[in-house]
Amino acid sequence: MEAAERRGISLKRLGGWEPITTTEYEYDEAGRLVRSWSQPESEWDQQQQAWVDAWAEYRAQRCPCGCGQRYADVTSEEEGGPQFVADRKVCRARLALLEAQKAAETQDVIGGARLWQVRMVDERG
């Protein structure tokens, strides 16, 4: 959905849909064309608008800090609320790159390969 939002086009257009254009003609009593007008099919029908609205609502519910969690689930007063644990995984490809870079340099660059994620601790532990 984000690609469609950035491009300003609907998902159906992104998927290859092309609008059908209907042209109407108006003639006078002598049969001469006096006016014509064309109307393309609407790209943003109700379904497309509903999808964009739903996506906007989903994004609005995310925590603004970038953790990826629902704001309502992760925010509370500091004294109480849900508990979380943080753990990490390592991107092995980036780690190999950074280790090679470190071997060529004297500064510590391995910290950039550590990817952190946060998950909510449920009631069971």
pLDDT digits 0-9 by tens, 27-67:
999 999 999 999 999 888 888 889 889 999 999 999 998 88
Query: Is 87 domain-assigned?
Result: no
Cα(69)–Cα(76) distance, integer angstroms:
13
Query: Is 27 domain-assigned?
Result: yes
Q: Is the pLDDT of residue 107 over 60?
A: no
Domains held by the chain: number: 1
- How confident is the model at residue 16, as a pLDDT? 92
CB 39 within 8 A of CB 21: yes
Q: Which residues of 85-105 are buried (b: 16+ CB within 10 A; e: fewer)?
A: eeeeeeeeeeeeebeeeeeee
Who wins on pLDDT, 92 or 24? 24
pLDDT band at 72 (very low <50, low <70, confident <90, very high): confident
- Residues 6 or more apart whose Cβ sits within 8 Å of residue 48: 10, 11, 12
DSSP-derived secondary structure for 102-125: HHHSSS--GGGGEEEEEEE--TT-
Query: Is 79 domain-assigned?
Result: no
Query: Is 1 domain-assigned?
Result: yes
Range of the domain at 30: 1-60
pLDDT band at 76 (very low <50, low <70, confident <90, very high): confident
